[in-house]
Amino acid sequence: MTELSTQPTVRRTTAQGAVSTVLAFDVVVTRVERISANFQRITFGGSCLSDFGVQGSTLDLRIKVMIPASHGNRADMASLMDSEGTGWYQRWLAMDADERGAMRTYTVRGARCGGEAPEVDVDFVMHFDAEGNGGPASQWAAAAAPGDRVWLIGPNVQAATCATAGSYGGIEWRPGMAQNVLLAGDETAVPAISAILESLPADIKGHALLEVPDAEDFQDIATGSGVEITWLARGVRPQGELLDAAVRQAVRLPGWVSLSSPFSVALGADSPAGLALAAAASARTAAGPEPEEIDVDKTILWETPQLLDQGAVGNSLNPDRPPGALPFYAWIAGEAAMVRGLRRYLVRDVGIDRKQVAFMGYWRQGRAETS
């Protein structure tokens, strides 16, 4: 039987009495399940996880999984964190690479932290090259067994419900009032899209497009929403090719707003936005601004309505259309070059306001996460 008596989380309070939004969780693997051809679900347990969580559904909540070094060494993440839950990354980075292991970003696929035996599920994509080499996270997940221990860096549920807390900031899904949505992602985004779909109410409609390596990776997703789910099996095709085509089919030019797209109802061909888009499309010009070029080899592609609001990235937004009041919202994640291509298509060719779309490069072909 797996030993679940992990270290309790260090409950942190800042000098001002606020609760730290981020905690380090010392967890143990309780179950390992190959849920499809290329996905390994790892369930983490430990009494410390009773402090883990957010208010409401976890949606696309991201956490850090601290992968032990190849000889099994684990950095003690709790001791690296200051009272505000910050500073740990620089201290961890300053450690000897052989001692600290690797840090990777994953989505919480499920969290059951309210009861006697709190647990968190993470679905790892098993990606290996022809020689069988993968990154540290996929290698670790492939060999994981009950009893193995790692640290997770994630949200403090006390902070989520505490008036003095800041925001953990690990959730990007913010559709505002939109009732027509597009979710598009490759296999790394399947856990996030699945969790989002499970949370959506019946009056939300649209498309979820998921590209996975193999038809044996299609999964059952229970959604009460009206979102139509389409699985795409890549097979031997290049990464992202099918997804790119499927998004272009769902959000079509010319005259995107007046065709049979599910989004046509949302904007309406006679709405100001609809007319502008249709006019631009019929004039065969770019319907929107050219988004700034992003070199995905040098930088992370991460452009969300929240970041635009904070002025963190350059933008050319329409100030008359505040976020949250828009009828359509898109959430796109996966390999960065694929996401970049869809960003250009949706923003420039279709003319969708960047405040309506979250574009997230979850990984980069040929590059490790921290490189």
Question: Where do contacts with ligand FAD occur on this chain (CB under 6 A)?
Answer: 62, 104-107, 123-125, 127, 134-138, 187-188, 191, 362-369
**In whole angstroms, how close is the CB of 60 to ligand FAD at the nearest point?**
7
Q: Which is nearer to ligand FAD, 88 or 331 (CB)?
A: 331
**In whole angstroms, how close is the CB of 217 to ligand FAD at the nearest point?**
11
Q: Which is nearer to ligand FAD, 114 or 366 (CB)?
A: 366
**In whole angstroms, how close is the CB of 358 to ligand FAD at the nearest point?**
11
Asked if 343 contacts 291 with a C-beta cutoff of 8 angstroms, the reply is: yes
**In whole angstroms, how close is the CB of 222 to ligand FAD at the nearest point?**
18
**In whole angstroms, how close is the CB of 211 to ligand FAD at the nearest point?**
11
**Alpha carbons 240 and 189: distance in angstroms, whole number:** 12
Q: Which is nearer to ligand FAD, 141 or 250 (CB)?
A: 141
Dihedral sign (CA 354, 257, 224, 41): negative
Phi-psi region of 269 (alpha: psi -120 to 50; beta: other; left: phi over 0): alpha
**In whole angstroms, how close is the CB of 365 to ligand FAD at the nearest point?**
5
Measure the CA angle with vertex 147, ends 141 and 149; round to 5°: 65
**In whole angstroms, how close is the CB of 335 to ligand FAD at the nearest point?**
7
**Alpha carbons 37 and 50: distance in angstroms, whole number:** 32
**In whole angstroms, how close is the CB of 34 to ligand FAD at the nearest point?**
13
Q: Which is nearer to ligand FAD, 105 or 315 (CB)?
A: 105
144 closest CA partner among 154, 153, 158, 134? 134
Q: Which is nearer to ligand FAD, 134 or 166 (CB)?
A: 134
Asked if 348 contacts 287 with a C-beta cutoff of 8 angstroms, the reply is: yes
Phi, psi for residue 248 in degrees, rounded to 5: -65, -30
Question: Which spans in 54-200 are helix H?
Answer: 77-80, 88-93, 97-100, 136-143, 157-160, 190-199
Q: Which is nearer to ligand FAD, 138 or 258 (CB)?
A: 138
**Alpha carbons 171 and 111: distance in angstroms, whole number:** 14
Asked if 265 contacts 258 with a C-beta cutoff of 8 angstroms, the reply is: no
Structure tokens at 97: 């690479």
Q: Which is nearer to ligand FAD, 241 or 290 (CB)?
A: 241
Q: Which is nearer to ligand FAD, 95 or 286 (CB)?
A: 95
